Structures are given as structure tokens and as C-alpha cells.
Amino acid sequence: MTIGHRTTDGPSTAGGHPGVWQGETADLSARSARVGERIIKFALMSSAFFSVVVTVGIVLSLIVPLGTFFQHVGLGEFLFGTEWTAAFGDKFTWDDKSWGVLPLVVSTMMITLIALAVAVPLGLGVAIYLSEYASQRVRKVLKPLLEILAGIPTVVYGFLALTALTPILGSIFEFQGIYTNLAPGIVMGFMIVPTVASLSEDAMSAVPLALRQGSYALGANRMQTTVRVVFPAALSGIVAAIVLGISRAVGETMIVTIAAGSKAHLSFDPREGAQTMTGFIAQIASGDAPQGSPVYYSLFAVGALLFVITLVINMISIRLVRKYRQAY
């Protein structure tokens, strides 16, 4: 006998257990889903909050050392001075050192530009091939192989630049010495290629097929469609990939520490070796300077400047991505 929607002597019409309302079963399922969604939402919010806390912690940890450093060194002298001798000699007094960080910044930017000159054309070329020309079978093989380059330790890249590429470049460009900005810049460019290529290929693959079909219907060939339709449509993702490559190049440590040298001097010749910001941080952090010394505090000043440069790059990236973003 059935009363309403409840079964009294058999299974319910919804296939449930005897004596259970169909509405009750649906409500229990919805309630379980809502609990799961709350847990997932809490986990995601916790991850975002933890990232913010870590960033704030980094900033707070820099305040006291920066205050000590800039009590003795002027901001203008630090940012625009052309001589940096903080890592030389055995004297650790403020007056015995020169605190102009410009040589470190120039060397860092020079190596970054060389890396981008290598990574951007190669990365975009690989992305265009994988997205528009390669078959599905070829893409499944090439893309994982390409991303293996991103997993090679940077120490290996550094020794490759120092022992293999520097002698070759020395014979071509006729320069002496084992350190140069050119070799680590080129090797770093190959290291960044997987980042630029993979993210750019993802952005281009996300462009709707209808845009390609419309271009073909108007008589465009594949290259014209790629350059004039797909590439502009995926420009926001491509810009994000390039900026991510820039951030990685600016923050790279081991390659420049091994192959660029440890002498800071202002030079715009890529054939010469010069210390970068991350190279200086690696040298001082390895224990060469006593804790509490002026050179020790300079470590935090250079680290803070590197943090600001990376922040500015990311802000520019966000602005460019929002400017060129297209919704479909």
C-alpha cells in the first residue's frame, strides 16, 4: 500500500529504501554536495590566504635590515651609484665599501635581454608549430619532450655555459677570460623556451576553431590564419608566457653564479663577465660575510630591489593581459 510518495511495504518508486521519501533522498544528496563545496571553497581560500601571508612575511622580514642599511647608505647612492665593492676585501665597515647597485642591475638586465632574444622567437615558433601544424600524435610526443628541458637542474645549464659555450663564443667574438654575460644569457634562453612555448601553445590551442574556419572561408591560408587571427586572439596568454619567462630569467641564480663571474663592474659589453643581483645574493648567502656586518645588510637591500623589480614586472604583465584579453 502506498501513501503519498512514501512506500510502506516495499521499495520506493525512486529505487530507495522502504519508508524513505524521494524528496528526503534528493535533499540528503544536495546537502552532501553543499558540504563538499564548502570544504573545497575553504581549502582554496586558505591557499590564497597563505600565499598572501607568505608575501607579507617576506616584506616584513626585510624592513629591519633595510632600515639599518639605509641609515648608512643613501637611497640615491644605492640606486644610481656605478661602483659596487661590497663583496671584496676583508674590511666590513660602511666607509670602506661602495654601495652603488647599478652594475648588478645592468648585468642582470643584459643577461635577461639576451635570454629573451633566444627564448621568445624559439618558444613562439615551437608554440605555433605544435598548435597549428603538428598532428595530435606528434604533439603528444614533442610537448612532453620539450617540457623535460624545464626539469633539468640549472646547475647543469651553468656548467654547460661555462665549459662548453664560453670557449666557442670566445673563439667567435675574440674575447679573453672564462666569464661572460653572453654565454649564460644564451643558455638561460634555452632554459626558458619550454615556459614560453608551453604556455603560448596552450593559449593558441584555446582559440575557438570557429575563428580559424571563418578565416579559411575568407580565403586565408594556414600561415595567414595563424599570424592574423590565432596569434592576436591568443595575445594575452602569449604576453603572460613571455613575462613569466622574464621573471624566471631575472630571478635565476645558479647559471649566472657559475658562468657570469663574481666581479661587479658596470659594463654594457655582453662579452665581458659581470656579477648579477642573484649572483651576489648567492655569494653572500653562502657564508662569506659575518652576520650583522654592512655586507650582510646589503644582501637584504639587493634582495628587496630584486623583489620590487619582479613585482613591477608582474604588475605590467597583469595590465597587458587585461588590455589584450579577448572573451569568446
| Single pTM value for the model | 0.82
Place of cell 662548453: 164
Task: Indicate the average pLDDT of the chain.
Answer: 84
Yes or no: say if 247 and 310 are a contact pair by the CB < 8 Å rule. Answer: yes
Q: Where is pLDDT greater, at 91 or 268?
A: 268
Greater pLDDT, 171 or 17: 171
User: What local confidence, expressed as pLDDT, does residue 2 receive?
Assistant: 43
For cell 575563428, the residue is 211
71 C-beta neighbours (distance < 10 Å), count: 9
pLDDT band at 149 (very low <50, low <70, confident <90, very high): confident
pLDDT at 265 over 90: no
Q: 113's torsion region: left (phi>0), alpha (psi -120 to 50) or beta?
A: alpha
Task: Please check the confidence at residue 110 and state whether its pLDDT lies above 90.
Answer: yes
- The C-alpha atoms of residue 31 and residue 122 are separated, in whole angstroms, by 52
Cα distance from N-terminal residue to C-terminal residue, the chain: 56
pLDDT of 4 reads 43
Burial class (CB in 10 A: 0-12, 13-18, 19+), 274: buried
pLDDT for residue 23 is more than 70 = no
Specify the pLDDT at position 6: 43
Region 16-45: mean pLDDT is 67
Strand partners, 84: 99
pLDDT bracket for residue 101 (50, 70, 90)? very high
Cα 55 to Cα 60: distance, rounded to the nearest angstrom: 9
Q: How many CB atoms lie under 10 A from the CB of residue 293?
A: 16
Spatial CA neighbour of 241 closest among 122, 129, 152, 141: 122
Burial of 83 per CB tally in 10 Å (0-12, 13-18, 19+): middle
Residue 304 has a pLDDT of 92
Tens digit of pLDDT for each residue in 293-317?
A: 888 888 899 999 999 999 898 888 8
* Residue 73 φ/ψ, nearest 5 degrees: -125, 130
Core vs surface per residue 190-199: b (16+ CB within 10 A) or e: bbbbbbbbbb
**Residues 6+ positions from 163 with CB-CB distance below 8 Å:** none
**Residue-wise pLDDT tens digits, 157-194:** 999 999 999 999 988 888 777 899 999 999 999 999 99
Q: How far apart are CA 7 and CA 250, in angstroms?
A: 70
- Cell 597549428 belongs to 132
d(CA 111, CA 256) in angstroms, rounded, equals 8
For range 62-86, the mean pLDDT: 90
H helical segments located in 161-265: 166-173, 182-205, 209-217, 222-225, 231-233, 235-251, 254-259
Give the length of the chain: 328
